[in-house]
Amino acid sequence: MSDPAPAPPPRLSNDPYEVNGVQAGFQLPGWIWRSMFACYAIFFLGIGAATGRDTATLFMLVISALYALMYFATAGILHAQKGPERASPLERIGGVLDTWTGPMDAGTVAAQILAVPAGFAFLGVTFLVVRATSGF
């Protein structure tokens, strides 16, 4: 008589707080994702309005915008595939996000994540203002 197949090892989650398939997820509130998307949209609209005068420029802008859209679409697809997750700790009053450098409050997390997208939005608006005021 043959021995039964050994049982598979128990599945261990990377999330020490996972319970019944609920996972930690991105742990960023939705308003940070929407703000990031809005900043990049402002950037592309500003740059497009300021420099989009020929086909080659428009082509490069469309390709760049599609890459940015792929970034957000990939995050959305991964979020949809992974199943239910706990709400972000930053959505609670006084909540902090545990990072490898220590706990961070919502303002600190937003400043770190949105610094570059806000800079890009400012750059797009600046290009548009320079274009509008230069008379070209």
Question: Any idea where the domains of the chain sit in the sequence?
Answer: 32-84+105-134
Q: Using CA atoms, how far apart are residues 126 and 56, in angstroms rounded to an integer?
A: 22
pLDDT of 105 strictly over 60: yes
Return the top range by mean pLDDT from 16-30, 86-100, 112-126.
112-126
Q: Please compute the mean of the pLDDT values over residues 114-134 and round it to a whole number.
A: 95
Q: Cβ(51)–Cβ(112) under 8 Å?
A: no
Beta-bridge mates of residue 96 = 105
Residue with tokens 């999330």: 15
> The tokens 């545990």 sit on which residue?
98
**Cross-strand bridge partners of residue 102:** 99
Question: Could you read off the pLDDT of 52-104 as tens digits, one per residue?
Answer: 889 999 999 999 999 999 999 998 888 787 666 777 888 887 888 888 888 88
Can you say whether the dihedral through the CA atoms of 109, 13, 16, 101 is positive or negative? negative
Q: Do residues 42 and 119 make contact, with C-beta atoms less than 8 angstroms apart?
A: no
CA distance 65 to 69: 6
Kind and range of the H or E run holding 124: helix 106-134
pTM of the full structure: 0.75
